[in-house]
Amino acid sequence: MKIALITGGSAGIGQATARLLARRGIGVVTTFRSHPGDAEQTVADIEAEGGAAIALPLDLARVEGIDDFIDGLRSEMESRWGTGTLDYLVNNAGIGGPAMFADITEETFDTFHNVLFKGPYFLTQKLLPVLADGAAIVNTGSTSALPSRTTPGYSAYAAYKSAMHTVTAFWAKELAHRGIRVNAVAPGTTRTRIADDAFSRMPELVPAIAEAIALGRIGEPDDVAQAIAFLLSDAAAWVTGQVLEVSGGERL
CATH number at residue 151: 3.40.50.720
**Amino acid identity, residue 143?**
T
Share of the chain above pLDDT 70, in %: 97
Is 115 a domain residue?
yes
Is 168 a domain residue?
yes
Is 169 a domain residue?
yes
pTM: 0.95
Is 252 a domain residue?
no
Is 190 a domain residue?
yes
Is 251 a domain residue?
no
Maximum Cα–Cα distance across the chain: 52
Q: What is the mean pLDDT of the chain?
A: 94
Candidate list 121, 154, 157, 160, residue with the active-site label: 157
- Number of domains the chain contains: 1
Q: Which domain holds residue 54?
A: 3-246
Cα–Cα distances (Å) from 96 to 161, 198, 217, 242, in that order, read 10, 11, 21, 23
CA–CA gap between residue 131 and residue 219 (Å, rounded) = 31
Asked about 160 being catalytic, the answer comes back as: no
Is 77 a domain residue?
yes
Cα-Cα-Cα-Cα torsion 222, 228, 230, 236, nearest 10 degrees, comes to 170
Least confident of 2-16, 47-61, 89-103, 218-232: 89-103
Tens digits of residue pLDDT in 160-216: 999 999 999 999 999 999 999 999 999 999 988 665 566 667 777 788 889 999 999
Is 147 a domain residue?
yes
